[in-house]
Amino acid sequence: MDPIFLIAIIVILIVAIGIVMAIVMKRESERRQRMLSVIQSRAATAGGDAAGDGPRNEQDKRRAEIAKKLKDQDQAGGGKEKHKADLAASLGQAGLKFTPMHFWLFSLLSAVVFTVLGKLMGMSNFVVFLFFIIGLMGVPRYALRWKIKRRQKAFLTEFSDALEAMARLLKAGMPVSEAVAMAGREFDGPVGEEMSLMYESQKIGIPLPEAALQAARRMPLTEMQMLATGLSIQAQTGASLSEVLINLAKVIRARYRLRRKVQALSSEAKASAMIIGSLPFLVGGGLFLINPDYMDPLLHTGTGKFLLAGAACWMGMGIFIMKIMINFKI
């Protein structure tokens, strides 16, 4: 294989990976900044009313202290634990009972399968090596992320119903721990699993706010973090937990409706992006099927391979950028 072509492929891959990592890190940083701004605004609001009456002044001071404590906890939980969840945490978020050793064994098996597939297809050693890397690091990680997103989507579907059920049980006079246990028994899927784990954590002596924080680490969603924050504030201020859960359920339903509305409004842009992204591949495949000789200079010469690799790289980056532009986070 042409050395210039190999160097071009390596440079293109490095540039593409760098761009993807920069975009992902920027989006994660913006999300953390939004969460911190909400906490800071609560603290400023509570601290700005400190010149009020006696009981109200004490309550505002308490809320300001709680907001400051939550902000400090969020900053202390940053770094590797926040930005780079380890493999065990990712497996827990996916709801898998695998250990990291099992995951690496599965990755190694996937790499062997991809390597054998490349050999059977008659690929060169460099392409077979790329197949090995994809099978070892690419496909298993992608499957794990897909499993995490699928579980989070299923969790959000029933989370608001579970909160409203817990609120009704609390209004009926049932203790908080029993309400959590009832939600774990009545709801299937990720919601029931997380509520059951919260109840089991309470049985071994962990307070409810701390158990909710642990659940928020296993299910890193804004809605779950809102529940953990609400329970922490309720434990400090003594507010009605049923009202907190009902208000949170309303907020989650409103966010869900807004998310569906955004998906409906962006469906046309997504369809256009899919058509534009698939058009070069369809045209190239059609030309190859109709007249293979016409495509020989592009597929079997060094210049053609270099141009083909550059076109594939730019097309990939364009598709990725279009996906980011039409993928709205609510």
- The residue ranges of every structural domain in the chain are 1-67, 155-255, 266-330
Q: Write the pLDDT tens digit of every residue in 132-158.
A: 888 888 888 888 888 888 888 888 888
Residue 188 tokens read as 């299937």
Pick among 1.10.150, 1.20.81, 2.130.10, 3.40.50: CATH of 155-255: 1.20.81
**31: nearest Cα among 222, 272, 274:** 222
Q: Write the pLDDT tens digit of every residue in 39-70.
A: 555 545 544 544 445 555 665 665 565 555 55
Residue 136 tokens read as 């070892």
Q: Does the pLDDT of residue 77 top 60, yes or no?
A: no
Distance CA 107, CA 247 (A): 44
Q: Write the pLDDT tens digit of every residue in 24-36.
A: 667 766 766 666 5
Distance CA 134, CA 103 (A): 15
CA distances from residue 9 to 19, 222, 307 in whole angstroms, order as listed: 15, 39, 11
Distance CA 149, CA 24 (A): 16
Q: What mean pLDDT do residues 223-227 have?
A: 82
